[in-house]
């Protein structure tokens, strides 16, 4: 259980075009979904947090008008990179948060990650 | 935020146990110790997490010291496919540190 998929796995586009990346939790309903970005030889950086039916919360320095996030259901979130430029080329990874469950003194949701999407903007 | 400290790299022989240490001396009472790993060009993979007690699953064991200031991830019989960057993160989705913050992790290289 706890499988998260992303589509596409890689995409090449021309500068100025928009690219949509889908993130799906396949076997559970996610309370929250997250979008990360990873540049070569660097660690993952959180871009935004989204909950179904509400606006995403963006991290400082991430342009919300450039990286549009739609969280239409408990199993689907999309990230649209608008007017992409070469500096947006990166590895984009989503995660979906699955509740730990009841019966513990402390509870926390566990994030499960998708396989990532490699975006190259020419 | 509870910051974690890990060695930048470790080597392990195939078939041997890999013991990956992590220091988290400022961890708060409601933060779990999470371990993820990232194989090159893939998304991070959840391994295990724990709060106070030692935990074991099909992938690994997690040993947490009694004072919770450090922990060790144990891969009992490392294989070449276990070569990856391993991240130790102190986290609680409902706490003040509700974001998964990835540091640089430990690059584990399993050698034949």
What one-character-per-residue DSSP string does A27-69 give? SS--SEEEEEEE-TTS--EEEEEEETTS--EEPTT--TTTEEE
Query: Which of A106, A116, A118, A120 to mutate against chain B (most B CBs within 10 Å)?
Result: A106
Q: Would you call A96 helix, strand, or coil by DSSP?
A: strand
pLDDT at A20: 97
Contact residues on chain B for A109, CB-CB shorter than 8 A: 93-94
pLDDT at B38: 97
| DSSP assignments along B79-106, one per residue | -GGG-EEEEEEEE-TTSS--S------E
Residue % of chain B over a pLDDT of 70: 95
Check: CB of residue B65 under 8 Å from CB of residue B54.
Answer: no
The helix (H) or strand (E) run that includes residue A90 is strand A90-98
B49 touches chain A (CB under 8 A): yes
Query: Inter-chain contact A46–B100, Cβ cutoff 8 Å?
Result: yes
pLDDT at B43: 96
Strand-pairing partners, residue B86, are B37, B106
pLDDT at A51: 86
Residue B8: partners with Cβ closer than 8 Å, 6 or more residues away: B104, B106, B107
Q: Would you call A21 helix, strand, or coil by DSSP?
A: strand
Measured in degrees and rounded to the nearest 5, phi and psi for residue A92 equal -105, 130
A69 touches chain B (CB under 8 A): no
Q: What is the pLDDT along chain A (122 residues), one digit of tens a residue?
A: 689 999 999 999 999 999 999 999 999 888 789 999 999 989 999 999 998 888 899 999 999 999 999 988 889 999 999 999 999 999 999 999 887 654 444 467 889 999 999 999 99
pLDDT at A48: 95
Q: How far apart are CA B59 and CA B37, in angstroms?
A: 11
Q: How far apart are CA A24 and CA B108, in angstroms?
A: 30
């Amino acid at each position: 259980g706890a499988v998260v998929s992303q589509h596409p796995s890689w995409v090449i586009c021309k500068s100025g075009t928009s690219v949509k990346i889908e993130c799906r939790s396949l076997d559970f309903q996610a309370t929250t979904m997250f979008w990360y970005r990873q540049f070569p030889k660097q660690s993952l950086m959180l871009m935004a947090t989204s909950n179904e039916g509400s606006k995403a919360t963006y991290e400082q320095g991430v342009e919300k008008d450039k990286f549009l996030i739609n969280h239409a259901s408990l199993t689907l979130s999309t990230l649209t990179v608008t007017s992409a430029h070469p500096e947006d080329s990166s590895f984009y990874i989503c995660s979906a948060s699955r509740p730990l469950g009841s019966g513990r003194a402390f509870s926390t949701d566990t994030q499960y990650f998708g396989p990532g999407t490699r975006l190259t903007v020419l | 935020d509870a910051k974690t400290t890990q060695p930048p790299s470790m080597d392990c022989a195939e078939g041997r146990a890999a013991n990956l240490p992590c220091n988290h001396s400022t961890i708060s009472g409601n933060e779990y110790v999470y371990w993820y790993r990232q194989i090159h060009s893939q998304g991070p993979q959840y391994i295990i997490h724990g709060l106070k007690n030692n935990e074991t699953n099909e992938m690994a064991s997690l040993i947490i010291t009694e004072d919770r200031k450090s922990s060790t991830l144990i891969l009992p019989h490392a294989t070449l496919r276990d070569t990856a960057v391993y991240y130790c993160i102190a986290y609680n989705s409902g706490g003040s540190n509700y974001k998964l913050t990835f540091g640089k992790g430990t690059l584990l290289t399993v050698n034949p």
